[in-house]
Amino acid sequence: MSVSSKKVSVIGAGVGGMAIAIRLSVKGYKVSVFESNSHVGGKLSQIESGDFRFDAGPSLFTMPELVDELFQLANKDPREFFNYQKLDESCRYFYEDGTHIIGYTDPQKFAEESANKTGVDASAVLKHLKKSQFIYDSTAFLFLQKSLHSIKTYLSLKVLKSFLKLPFLGVFGSMHLANHNALSNDKMVQLFDRYATYNGSNPYIAPAILNIIPHLEFNKGAFFPNKGMYSISLALHDLAVSLGVQFNLNSKVDEILLERKKVKGVVVNKEAILSDYVISNLDIFFTYKNLLKNQFASKMIAKQERSTSALIFYWGVNNTFPTLDLHNIFFSADYKKEFEVLNAAKAIYHDPTVYVNITSKKNSLDAPENCENWFVMINVPSNENQNWDELIIKAKASIIKKLNCQLTTDLEPLILSEEILDPRKIESKTGSYKGSLYGTASNKKMAAFFRHPNFSNDIRGLYFCGGSVHPGGGIPLALSSAKIVDDFFST
Ligand X SMILES: Cc1cc2nc3c(=O)[nH]c(=O)nc-3n(C[C@H](O)[C@H](O)[C@H](O)COP(=O)(O)OP(=O)(O)OC[C@H]3O[C@@H](n4cnc5c(N)ncnc54)[C@H](O)[C@@H]3O)c2cc1C
In whole angstroms, the minimum distance from the beta carbon of 163 to ligand X comes to 27
Which amino acid belongs to residue 130? K
| Burial zone of 229 (CB within 10 Å; 0-12 exposed, 13-18 middle, 19+ buried) | buried
Task: State the Cα–Cα distance between residues 221 and 89, nearest whole angstrom.
Answer: 9
Cβ atoms of residues 486 and 20 within 8 Å: yes
Task: Pick the closer one to ligand X by CB: 36 or 382.
Answer: 36
| Vertex 374: Cα angle to 317 and 217 (nearest 5) | 150
Spacing of C-alpha 162 from chain mean position: 25
Which one among 265, 316, 466, 471 touches ligand X, defined by CB under 6 A? 466
Residue 225 engages ligand X in binding (rule: CB under 6 A): no
Tell me, by CB under 6 A, how many residues bind ligand X. 36
How do the residues of the chain divide into helix, strand and coil, expressed in percent and rounded to 5? 45, 20, 35
Residue 332 engages ligand X in binding (rule: CB under 6 A): no
358-375 CB burial, b ≥16 within 10 A, e <16: bbbbbbeebbbeebbbbb
The mark string for 267-306 relative to ligand X (x by CB under 6 A, - otherwise) is --------------xx------------------------
Which one among 475, 480, 485, 489 touches ligand X, defined by CB under 6 A? 475
Residue 34 engages ligand X in binding (rule: CB under 6 A): yes
Select from 21-29, 52-60, 406-414, 442-450 the region that touches ligand X (CB under 6 A).
Answer: 52-60
In whole angstroms, the minimum distance from the beta carbon of 353 to ligand X comes to 14
Task: State the Cα–Cα distance between residues 463 and 17, nearest whole angstrom.
Answer: 11
Task: State the Cα–Cα distance between residues 426 and 473, nearest whole angstrom.
Answer: 14
Residue 43 engages ligand X in binding (rule: CB under 6 A): yes
Cis peptide before 58 (omega within 30 of 0): no
Residue 16 engages ligand X in binding (rule: CB under 6 A): yes
Select from 39-47, 66-74, 165-173, 327-335 the region that touches ligand X (CB under 6 A).
Answer: 39-47
Cβ contacts of 389 within 8 Å, gap of 6 or more = none
Which one among 431, 448, 461, 470 touches ligand X, defined by CB under 6 A? 431
Subset of residues 54 to 83 that bind ligand X, contact rule: CB under 6 A: 57-60
In whole angstroms, the minimum distance from the beta carbon of 96 to ligand X comes to 24
Which one among 25, 42, 211, 236 touches ligand X, defined by CB under 6 A? 42
Task: Pick the closer one to ligand X by CB: 272 or 405.
Answer: 272
Rounded to 10 deg, the angle between the 107-118 and 122-145 helix axes is 130
Subset of residues 387 to 426 that bind ligand X, contact rule: CB under 6 A: 426
Whole-Å CA distances, 449 to 37, 114, 149, 352 = 31, 36, 8, 31
Which one among 10, 22, 354, 437 touches ligand X, defined by CB under 6 A? 437
Contact residues: ligand X, CB under 6 A? 11-17, 34-37, 42-44, 57-60, 252-253, 281-282, 310, 312, 426, 430-432, 437-438, 466-467, 473-475, 478
